[in-house]
Structure 1
Amino acid sequence: MVMNRISLSGLPTGPMWARRGPLLLLWLVALLLPGLAVAATELDAIVAVVNDDVIVASELRKEIDLVVPQMEQRGTPVPPPDALERQVLDRLILKRLQLQRAEALGIQVDEAMLERALESIATRNGLTLDELRQALEAGGVNFEDFREDTRMQILTSQLQNQEVVKNIQVTDQEVDRFLEKESSRLIERTAVRLQHILIAVPEGADEAEVERARQRAQTLVARLRGGADFARVAAESSDGRQALEGGDLGWFEMAAVPSLVSELAFTMAEGEISDPLRSPSGFHIIRMAEIRGSGPQLVTQTQVRHILIRTNELVADADARRRLEQLRMRIVGGEDFATLARANSDDTGSALRGGDLGWLSPGDTVSEFETQMATLAAGEVSQPFRTAFGWHLVQVLERREQDTTDEVMRNKAREAIRQRKATEEIDLWLQRLRAEAYVDIRLDRLARE
């Protein structure tokens, strides 16, 4: 390996070299090899072997440089260097295994998809792409590293969807059970009422004092989850200012929820008890006492029917449009839309129903179709228009205001269950991927050397 990197083009030739050359070459290699080996160890030593691939020290350092600013931004304590290295290396190994699996399945992320994802990230943060780059660089994150990390996230998401998520099934019985127990998690929250217990930790407390406070808080959480009355426990045990009010902090608009519990306020169910939360003042226990949510989900639904003409090698855009223009003239002239749809529409599912698509809510169809539908009065027939599916002729039959709260809640419940199952199944899938792979971690070996 080292000799491949040494240029021999400047060595002498001739009879003398023929006799002494091999010995001189061995001498040169012996002279250079220790320095080259040390440099290789320091610059890019192999820290792990993953099947037929390797992870080198520079990759590990680059990933650490990407992870640490993210941890600091979230307020997550950065572990000691040895623990951090091992944690990040484990993450790199899982990334490499998933990359290998994606390559085997032919899954790729092209430049256009990556650019769209980066622009979306920038937009969500109220930035342009250039401003996102500047913000990352100012925070100590190399933009190219962030770019490739984003590519990897998209790739693993596509892989996990193909290998795991698409196979997850959610039954109506599971949705019913979820709504019975946890429907409050799904309400669009406008305000929450919180109860609070504080186990104070004195400023400058040593590790033993902190640990005693942590254990005391965990004991209280166990009692509360076992059925103990929160207000009574708060009055007896809390060091907070509202202890004698049962720890009741009152109502908070969602934008005004204390930062310590801002994320939990959106996810906790009514009556749920949090794990102990650490802050400079001590350990906090939060109970979600009540939730106020938005009212019924009223939406305007439209009942429509359509005729679809698909384009292909034999049917050009102009031909499809001309056919629909002729059909529209016949409908306006008094012929029955349903009869013509059954005879002419390429959407075989709706054609059997005379083109009827049923009641559509906002977002149920593509934007071009929805725009055309919104401009029509009841009974009116559109001009021919194009979508990704082909050319359409649409007639609006009726509109109504519909309370979709139950439907929305069931859809939210189904998605929440799917996400829970996905998290569990992906973890198991990653464990299997790791167990079936050849992985040789060399961090400890390098440290000894």
Structure 2
Amino acid sequence: MKNRILAGAVALVSSVTLSGCGFLPGSGGGDRTVTVWLMKDSVSPGFLEKFTSAYEKDNPSIELDFRIQEWSGIGPKVLEALESDDAPDVIEVGNTQVAQYAESGGLRDLTLESMRDLGSEDWLPGLAQPGQISGVQYGIPWYAANRVVIYNKEIFQKAGIDSVPKTRAQWMADTEKLNTQGNQGMYLAGQNWYVLAGFIWDEGGELAEGSGGDWRGTLNSPEALAGMNFYKELQALGEGPMDADEEKPPQTDVFARGDVAQIISVPGSAALIEQKNPELKGKLGYFPIPGKTEKAPGSVFTGGSDLIVPKNADQRSAGIAVVKALASEKWQTELARTMSYVPNKPSLAHVVEGEEGTAAMAEGARRGRATPNSSQWARVEAENPIKPYMTAVLQGNDPAAEAKKASERITAMLAGS
């Protein structure tokens, strides 16, 4: 699925995004055409033209035909393509969508290629894990984005805070200090469940757990409840609504007023903030969500894309070769620098070191995770019992009772009932 996290990640390049659902063919000189479905706004025309030119020069028998797809309604469209006799050769999919498509039986097993040629042992876990179902690698990690803390440097300086926090305890202490000078120390909406997921993972909990194909919601575990308790403490250090998510109202609008010290968002949100309030240009900073110790940043939800190859594609081998190129160090470096994405390997994080926001995102991505790898998880997100659970706890209801109720609903959804 496409998560709102990626919408913010591409904000910095929105002026050069691809157009509609058309196609960008290659030079037309190849003997074989490899058709690739890419999602709207995933890459810029400049990147795609550069990749196409270089790839077709190195592979003169191949013509690349990129067809741009809308995120809206993409699930049924991909499933239909996987069942047809006219499937594209490569498809970009949301990292958390792979399980759904693998269940159809229409994906090619890419395990051998991922182990032999692509260095899968170094992939970001938030992309690699959801691409693997029952030990089989169907999705090849392409790019990632995750949340960081965006902060107002001026407010930090006025509060006497000279360095960004490295631990949760220091983060809370700094936020309390920032919240006592007529400013909001942290603007955090009550239903930002992706942020909650990171806190739950840091405590050793899960949103849901699966065994033998059976899944159950686990928000009522002691670890998950500890994560919710930390969320509640942090959310109280600001005026975020308890009964809405980060889009109601848009947290970038709230931050742009100039009296908020911190929000949790993707770095691309800074461009939107500066557009609304040019006086904040040069005053925004970034740091990874702090972990419980200085040894590692906090866990974060990883949004992003994997590349899959349909079983019934006409050019399966040629399609795999294109996937390998897109996932290679050369083109990962180009993609990360062009689009301000996190590369698919932590070892490539150095390629974005000069970009403060993307570098903070890449550091946090080392602790990236994905949502439960169930083909039914999309239904959980669509109806989302996690959001009302969070609101109920923030409004003073018993956390254990509310967590049990939400977990039971998640269990039923994951069982298809």
Same fold judged by TM-score > 0.5?
A: no
Task: Considering Cα pairs closer than 8 Å and 6+ residues apart, tell me whether 1 or 2 has the greater RCO.
Answer: 2
TM range (shorter): under 0.3
Higher helix share: 1
TM-score, normalisation: structure 2:
0.23
TM-score, normalisation: structure 1:
0.22
